[in-house]
Structure 1
Amino acid sequence: MAGWSAWQYIVSFIIGAMVYDQVMYIKRKGPIAGPPFKIPFMGPFIQALHPKFDAYLAQWASGPLSCVSVFHKFVVLASDRDLAHKVFKSPAYAEPCIVPIAKDILGHKAWVFLQGKAHAEYRRGLTPLFTNKAMATYLPVHHKVLSDYFDKFVNASKAEQGKPREFMTLFREINCALSCRTFFGDYISQDAVKKIADDFYLATAALELVNVPLSLYVPFTKPCATTWLFQVLAQRPDVLDRLREENLAARGGDKNKGFDLPMLESLTYTQAVIKELLRHRPPVIFVPYLATKDFPVTPEYTVPKGSMIIPSCYPALHDPEVYPHPNTFDPERWITGDAESKTKNWLVFGAGPHDCLARRYVPLTMAGMIGKAALELDWKHHATERSEEIRVFATLFPMVCVPKLPAFVFSLTLN
C-alpha cells in the first residue's frame, strides 16, 4: 500500500464506505420487507423528492413492517393496524418527529415534541378549547366566516365569467380564517389571515425539501379534506341532494338560518358523509415517529434506536374486512352498516397520548361548512384526466394540471 497513489486511496475509501453502508442496511432491515439492497449512500432519494401515492400503496402491501433507507436515515413503516396502535401508544420507545430536522426548525420545546408529564399538563390546558361549551361559542363565528367567504367564492367565479377555476387556495384560506377567527376573533386583520395561509403553505413546501420517503409534515389537513369534500359531492349529486334536504329540514325550511351545536349533532346523514370522506380520503396517511431506544415492535423484529418508525393510518381505513368495498365512497356504511363500531380502525386522528385534539372540532366544522354551502351554493366539478390521481403534499390532494399546485377545478354560483 506504500506505493499507492492518492486516487487508489480515494477509491478504496469509497468502496469501503459503500460496503459498510450496505452491510448496515442489511443488518437493520433484518427479516422485514424492503429492497434487498440499498442504492449506495442515497437510497431512493430521487423518489422522495416527488413521492407517488402508488408507491406508498405498494410499500404498505409489501408487509406489516417494511423499510427504506435514505442517506443515513433508516425508516420503518408499520402498515398493520395493531402495529400502528403499538407505535402510537409507546411513548417510552418513540416520540413524534415530523421530519428528521423538525426539532431544529420548530424548537426542541415545541409542545408536539413534549413527552410524559410535561406533555400531559400542556395538553390538559388545551382540552377546554374543544369541549361542547367551547364549540357552542365557536359556531356563530364559523357561520359569519363562511358567509363572508362564500360571497368571495361566488365573486371569484363571476370574475372568471363562470369559467372553471381552481379553488384550493380559497379552501386553504377559509380554513385558516376559521381557525384564526375562532381563537383570535377580530384582533387579526383579513390581510394577516391571508398571509398566514400563504406563508404556511410555503413553509410546508420548504419542509418537503427535507422530506424522506414515508416522512411527511401534516399541517394542511383541513384544506385537503375540504377540497375532497367539495369534489366528491360534485361527482355524486344524489348524495349532495340528500345532504341538502337534511340541512334544509333541520333549519325548518329557512336556508339562511344559522347552525348551532344541537343542529349539527342531529344531522345524521351529513355526519355520515363527513366520516366517510375522512375514511375514504384521510388527510393524514401516517405520522412519523423517532425510535428513542431499540423498539421491539414484534417478537421477531426490533426497530434500531435512531430510526424513524412510521405508523400508517390509510391501510386501517381501507381494510376490506372492516370496510367492505373500501375504495367506494359509501356514507350508508355509517348509518345501516357497522362502521361506527370499528373504532380500532378509525385512525383518522391517530391514537395514544399524541392523538389529535380536534377529533370533534374538525367534523363539526366540516358539517357546518358543507351544510351551509349545500343550501347557498351550486358548484360543478370540471374533471380532468388527472382529477382522481392523488398527489401527496403533506397530505392527500386531488391532482390536476395546475403548475405546482394541487387544486379542485370547478365553477360556482349562488343557489
Structure 2
Amino acid sequence: MESLVSLAPYIFTILAFVLLCEQINYLKKKRSVPGPSLVLPFIGNAISLVRDPTAFWDLESVRAKSSSFGFSANYIIGRFIIFIRSTDLSHKVFANVRPDAFHLVGHPFGKKLFGEHNLIYMMGQEHKDLRRRIAPNFTPKALSTYAELQQQIMLQHLKTWSELPESGTKAFPLRLLCRDMNLETSQTVFVGPYLSGDARKRFEIDYNYFNVGLMKLPIDLPGFAFRNARLAVSRLVETLAVCAEESRNKMKSGEDPSCLVDFWMQDNIREEESSSAAHLGENPSHTSSREIGGHLFDFLFASQDASTSSLLWAVALLDSHPEVLEKVREEVGGIWSPESGKLITADQLREMQYTEAVAREVIRYRAPATLVPHIAGEDFQLTESYTIPKGTIVFPSVYESSFQGFVEAERFDPDRFMEHRQEDRVYKKNYLAFGAGAHQCVGQRYAINHLVLFIAMFTSLFDFKRERSDGCDEIAYVPTICPRDDCKVVVSLRCRRFPCLSS
C-alpha cells in the first residue's frame, strides 16, 4: 500500500501528461475551425452525441453556418471529426478523386459491426466490378417483380392496421408498425421464399439487436449493446448466405427469378458458365454465397431504416399539407382504385408523376440518413486554408445540402420536382439523399418505388389525422430520423373493398 501511495504522484503526472498531449493534438488538428476549445479526455463529446443526437448535430450545424469555413470540428472516442455543411465541400468528399482520400464507413464504428470485406468499404476497380454485378438486380423487369411483392406485404400490414382495436377512434404510433412492415418487405423482396417462418422470427430479433447497437457506445464486451449488435450481424449474414446458396440451386434448375437474390444468382451462374466455357479457371470474385450474404445485409441496412423514416415523414407531411394530399388522391384515383381488387402495375406506377414528386420531396425535405460518414485515408486539402488530417472521421451533411439552392428550400413543395420546374435537374448537386460519386445508392429507383406505392395505397385506403402534440415534428434519431412522437395518427378505412392479397 505504501509503495502505491509513493507512486501516486508519478502516476498522476503521467496521466496528466497524456491528457495534455491529447488536448494539444486535438487543438493542433482543429486549428481555427469552429468547435469546442476543450474536450473530455478519451471520450470527447460522445456522451452528448449518444444522449441527444439531434441537439449535438444541430450545434455542429450552427457552428458551421456561423463561420466562413462551412464546416466544424469535434472529438468523439479518441477520434477527431469534421462536420461539413457546405454542399460543395461535401461533393469533394463524395467524389473521392484520389483512391485513398476518403473511405465510406456508413457508421463511425461500422467496420467493427459490418466487417472489413463489405460493399460499403470497397474502393476502386473491385467496387466497380461488384456494382456491375449488382446492376441486373434493378432492371425494369426485376423492379416490376419487386413491386408486386412490395404491395402484397404492404397490403397485409395495412389490413392489420385497419383491424387494430384503436383503428378509427384512437391515435397510435406508426414507427414500429412501419419498421416491421419494411423488414418483412425487405426479407421478401431480397430473399423471398428462402426464409422460413422460424428464420424470419430469429431474423427480426437479430435485426433489432443490430438496430439498438447502432446508437450505443462501441464497447465490444459481453453484455453491451454494441457486442450484441456485432454478433447479431454475423448471424444475419450467415442466414442470408444460406438463402443465397438455396437460390443458386434453384436458378441452376432454370426456374424464373422470384426475388432479388434470384436475379443476382441467375446472372452469377451465367458468368460462371462463361468463365468455365472459356477455361478461365476460378469463378469470378464476389460470387460466393457467404460474400453475397454479406452484401444482402448491406442492402438491408441501406434500405430498412431509411424507408421507415421516409414513410413516417410522408404521413406527417401529407397530414400537414392537405392540398398536397388532395392532389395525390386525385392523381392516384384516376389511375388505380383499391376497389378494383388489383395491384398497381408497373405502367400505372410510372403514370403517378405527382405522387413520385411528393416522394422525392419527402426525401429531400427529411433526408433519412442525414450524415454519410467517411474516414480520411490521407491528409486532404479541403480548402485553401485547411487540410483534413489523416484518420479524421468526416461527416458530409446530406440534410444540410437539401436546404441549399432549392427555391424556398424550407417549404415542403412537391411541384419543384415536376416537369415545369425541374429543380431536380437545376439543383441536382444539392439532392444528396442517395449519395454521390462511386458509392451513390444503386437501389434508389427501388426505394422511390417503395415510397410511391406506400403513399398511393395508404392515402387511397385510409382517412387519417395526426394527433399533434408539442414537439411532435421535431427530429429524433433512431438511427435514421423520424418524428419525435413516432408519427401518431388516427386512421379509418375510406374504401369499401380491400385490394386482393395474392397476386
Q: Same fold (TM over 0.5)?
A: yes
After TM superposition, the structure 1 stretch with the greater mean CA deviation from structure 2, 268-277 or 251-260, is 251-260
Q: How does 1:393-404 map to 2 (within 5 A)?
A: 393-400=478-485
Partner of residue 353 from structure 1, selected from 409, 420, 438: 438
Pick the aligned partner of 2:319 from 222, 234, 237: 234
Q: Which residue of the partner structure matches residue 68 of structure 1?
A: 74
Task: Give the letter for the 1:112 counterpart.
Answer: I
Post-superposition offset of 1:23: 0.8
Alpha-carbon distance between aligned partners in 2 of 1:252 and 1:101, rounded to the nearest angstrom: 46
Q: For the structure 1 residues 194 and 368, does the alpha-carbon distance in structure 2 shift closer, same or farther, using more than 3 Å as the test?
A: farther
> Deviation at 1:324?
3.1
Deviation at 1:197, TM superposition (A): 4.1
Deviations 1:125-167 (A, max 9, x none): 11111122211222222222222111111112x3667322122
TM-score (norm 2): 0.74
Classify 1:332/1:140 alpha carbon distance in 2 versus 1 (closer, same or farther; 3 Å). Answer: same
Q: TM-score, normalised to structure 1's length?
A: 0.89
3-state SS of the aligned residue for 1:39? coil
Q: Which residue of 1 aligns with 2:416?
A: 333
Q: Contact between 1:248 and 1:254, CA under 8 Å: does it hold in 2? A: no
1:180 to 178, 183, 187: 187
CA distance in 2: counterparts of 1:190 and 1:86, whole angstroms: 46
Q: Is the 8 A contact 1:255 1:376 kept in 2?
A: no
Cα separation, 2, equivalents of 1:22 and 1:104: 26
CA contact (8 A) 1:93 1:292 kept: yes
Q: Percentage identity across aligned positions?
A: 26
Q: Which residue is 2:39 aligned to?
A: 38
Contact 1:173 1:194 in 2 (8 A): no
Whole-Å separation in 1 of the counterparts to 2:387 and 2:20: 23
Question: Which residue is equivalent to 1:131?
Answer: 139
The 2-side partners of 1:196 and 1:162 are apart by: 33
Q: Secondary structure at the match of 1:412?
A: strand
Q: Which moved more, 1:47-56 or 1:309-318?
A: 47-56
- Alignment map for 1:161-180 (pairs within 5 Å): 162-180=169-187
Query: 1:14 — aligned with what?
Result: 15
* Whole-angstrom distance in 1 between the partners of 2:374 and 2:100: 12
- Equivalent-residue separation in structure 2 for 1:87 and 1:236 (angstroms): 35
**Is 1:75–1:308's contact at 8 Å kept on the other side of the alignment?**
yes
User: What's the CA shift for 1:372?
Assistant: 1.4
CA–CA distance in structure 2, aligned partners of residues 146 and 5 of structure 1: 69
Unaligned runs of 5+ in 1: 401-406
Report the more deviating stretch, 356-365 or 91-100: 91-100
Q: CA, structure 1 residues 185+41, in 2 after alignment: closer, same or farther (shift >3 Å)? A: closer
Q: Does structure 1 conserve the Cα–Cα contact (< 8 Å) formed by 2:167 and 2:492?
A: no
- Aligned partner of 2:487 in structure 1 is 408
SS of corresponding position for 2:408: coil
- Alignment match, 1:276: 361
Query: Which residue number in structure 2 is paired with residue 323 of structure 1?
Result: 406
Task: Give distance in 2, aligned partners of 1:144 and 1:40.
Answer: 52
What is the identity, as a one-letter code, of the residue corresponding to 1:83?
A: L
Going from structure 1 to structure 2, the CA distance change for 1:161 and 1:314 (only over 3 Å counts) comes to closer
Alignment of 1:1-400 (within 5 A): 5-63=6-64, 64-90=70-96, 91-156=99-164, 158=165, 162-189=169-196, 192-193=199-200, 195-210=202-217, 220-251=305-336, 256-319=341-404, 322-335=405-418, 336-341=420-425, 342-400=427-485
Unpaired runs of at least 5, structure 2:
65-69, 220-300, 495-503
Distance 2:168 2:358 in 1: 31
Q: Distance in 2 between matches of 1:161 and 1:136?
A: 33
Name the CA shift for 1:324/1:105 in 2 (closer, same or farther; >3 Å). Answer: same
- Displacement, 1:273? 0.7
Structure with greater helix percent? 2
